[in-house]
Amino acid sequence: MRTMPPARQPAVPLSPLRRTLSIVWALVPLCTFGIATVAIMGSAAVRLPRLSVRLAAVGYGVLFVAVMIVAPTPEELPKEALRNDIAMWTWFGSQWIIGTIHAFRLRSEVFRPRLPVAVTYPSPTSHYPATLPPESSSPRGTSHPAWDPWGTDSAVSPSFSDALGEIGPYRLLRRLGQGGQGTVYLAQSRDGRQLAVKVLHARIPGGMAERDGFMREALAAQRVPPFSTARLIDVGVVGDVAYIASEYVPGVSLERRVHDDRPLDGDGLTRLAIATAAALRGIHSAGIVHRDFKPANVLLGPDGPRVIDFGVAKALDRATMTSGGFKGTLPYMSPEQVSGGPVGPESDVFSWASTMIYGATGRLAFGGSTQYHVINLIMTYHPDLSVLPYPLRGPVAASLDKNPRNRPTAADLMVAITR
């Protein structure tokens, strides 16, 4: 197995604040006439644990002590002028001049943001299946990419190398799926845990604002309650490559289950509706909008349905500063999504209803022959809901209202279904 070289801090441009602080830090030896050089080099050795920097810090410390020992006292100056000159020039040459130059050479590395490391959580109890599922053809005459339980579009070629190696603290064992957002790998952490690592295709710019925005938005998913969702473990950026590590949920997606077997029966669909509405309730309570809720993002695990891939789209938008275009999967988008309007939790509720119709019929609720046709159906068409079990008809009908203000919340759906 080919492995990646040990990660070093990438050449990331410093933010204006970090650049200013780095200059002030590097000027300290000059402004203190070398007195603070040992402290400055010591801080550099802590920040940059390289042997050369550590040796330099020790060297400055030894020279500091040596000069203090060699320098004559004021009473000895008339007789020890030569010792005084040697001590003075050694001090100014090493601690003052060379120390200042050295600090300026190291300032960018010292103030460059550190790459994130893994967050420690209890080990997941689930394991990956021994083999990958085969590719499947499109369900019931509709064009659809190869099966991917992580909700990506395999028609898009990944930009991250398929050569397995390491990313951050994780060893990549094998590729599970790939698509529009990223490539998902079976990975192993340094303590032996197995999890799913999604390496995103979109490159994260070097600016601190973009990186901080991505990390903040992606890590917000840790606030989501773990019931009915795949728990987020870690988020990181190595160079300009971002990754998201999460709990793996064994089992096929709702999309695969309906395609390979058959649509869900009334009780099975009702249980699915309650569990996924509860998942959306937890996601929305954390202030997150999924924006790509669909059958491929609902995994049927051994302990019940799990919703995955929530919060990734907004994190990528924040990091890459992208705007415009569709952010989601067209047949499951809400009217406000396809029209470019503001997207909130109500949009996820509309997508949930479209997903329930697929689960009951194996057909798209808005299955047009062209992109324009699909958009027109989403904006104007009202699907036939007589195929749904009775407890779901009212909630799904309300969720498909074209006006987002008229739709129920995820909490309302749970109450309405179980009433």
The token duo for 240 is 């300009």
163 in the same domain as 68:
no
Residue 309 lies in a domain: yes
283 in the same domain as 236:
yes
The token duo for 41 is 């080099």
Which region among 80-89, 144-153, 310-319 has the lowest average model confidence (pLDDT)? 144-153
By the 8 A CB rule, do 177 and 158 touch?
no
By the 8 A CB rule, do 156 and 201 touch?
yes
Per mean pLDDT, which of 61-70, 113-122, 379-388 is the most reliable? 379-388
Closest among 284, 401, 331, 314 to 139, alpha carbons compared: 331
Question: What confidence score (pLDDT) does residue 205 get?
Answer: 66
Closest among 49, 159, 54, 53 to 114, alpha carbons compared: 49
Classify the phi-psi angles of 156: left when phi > 0, otherwise alpha if psi is within -120 to 50, otherwise beta: beta
Residue 122 lies in a domain: no
Residue 175 has pLDDT above 90, yes or no: no
Residue 129 lies in a domain: no
pLDDT digits (tens, 9 = 90+) for 16-40: 787 898 899 989 988 988 888 889 9
The token duo for 171 is 């060893």
Q: What is the band of 164 on the pLDDT scale with cuts at 50, 70, 90?
A: low
The helix (run of H) or strand (run of E) holding residue 186 is strand 182-188
Residue 178 has pLDDT above 80, yes or no: no
204 in the same domain as 89:
no
For the chain, how long is the longest CA-to-CA vector?
A: 108
d(CA 82, CA 4): 55
d(CA 321, CA 204): 10
229 in the same domain as 98:
no
Question: What confidence score (pLDDT) does residue 124 get?
Answer: 33
Residue 143 has pLDDT above 60, yes or no: no
Residue 196 has pLDDT above 80, yes or no: yes
Q: Which one of the listed residues 162, 191, 267, 292 is annotated catalytic?
A: 292
d(CA 302, CA 299): 10
By the 8 A CB rule, do 47 and 155 touch?
no
Q: What is the band of 210 on the pLDDT scale with cuts at 50, 70, 90?
A: low
161 in the same domain as 104:
no
For residue 412, indicate whether it is catalytic.
no
385 in the same domain as 285:
yes
Q: Which domain holds residue 264?
A: 139-418
277 in the same domain as 190:
yes
Question: What confidence score (pLDDT) does residue 327 get?
Answer: 60
Provide the strand spans (E) within 63-103. none
Count other C-beta atoms under 10 Å from residue 386's C-beta.
7
The token duo for 2 is 């080919």
Residue 244 lies in a domain: yes
pLDDT digits (tens, 9 = 90+) for 300-354: 988 889 998 876 666 655 544 444 445 678 999 999 999 988 999 999 999 999 9
| Domain end residue (candidates: 110, 126, 148) | 110
Q: What is the band of 4 on the pLDDT scale with cuts at 50, 70, 90?
A: very low
Question: What confidence score (pLDDT) does residue 258 get?
Answer: 95
Average pLDDT over residues 51-65: 87
Cβ within 8 Å of residue 160, ≥6 positions away: 182, 183, 199, 200, 201, 241
Average pLDDT over residues 283-297: 90
Residue 141 has pLDDT above 50, yes or no: no
SS3 assignment, position 180? coil
By the 8 A CB rule, do 308 and 176 touch?
no
202 in the same domain as 327:
yes
Question: What confidence score (pLDDT) does residue 156 get?
Answer: 36
Question: Pairing relation of β-strands 298-301 and 304-307?
Answer: antiparallel
Question: What confidence score (pLDDT) does residue 130 get?
Answer: 31
Domain count along the chain? 2
Question: What confidence score (pLDDT) does residue 136 get?
Answer: 35
Domain of 194: which CATH number? 1.10.510.10
Question: Pairing relation of β-strands 166-167 and 304-307?
Answer: unpaired
180 in the same domain as 32:
no
53 in the same domain as 202:
no
Classify the phi-psi angles of 317: left when phi > 0, otherwise alpha if psi is within -120 to 50, otherwise beta: alpha
The pairs formed by 49-55 with CB atoms below 8 angstroms and a separation of 24 or more are: 53/106
> In the predicted model, what is the mean pLDDT of the chain?
78
Distances from the Cα of 217 to the Cα of 120, 228, 235, angstroms: 19, 20, 10
8-state DSSP, 91? I
Question: What confidence score (pLDDT) does residue 379 get?
Answer: 95
What one-character-per-residue DSSP string does 250-310 give?
Answer: -S-BHHHHHHHT----HHHHHHHHHHHHHHHHHHHHTT---S--SGGGEEEETTEEEE---
157 in the same domain as 103:
no
pTM over 0.75? The answer is no
Question: What confidence score (pLDDT) does residue 317 get?
Answer: 55
313 in the same domain as 228:
yes
Residue 2 lies in a domain: no
Residue 387 has pLDDT above 90, yes or no: yes
Question: What confidence score (pLDDT) does residue 146 get?
Answer: 37
pLDDT digits (tens, 9 = 90+) for 85-122: 787 888 888 888 888 898 898 888 888 765 443 333 33
Residue 68 has pLDDT above 80, yes or no: yes
Count Cβ atoms within 10 A of the Cβ of residue 351 and give its class: 0-12 exposed, 13-18 middle, 19 or more buried: buried
| Domain end residue (candidates: 110, 130, 147) | 110
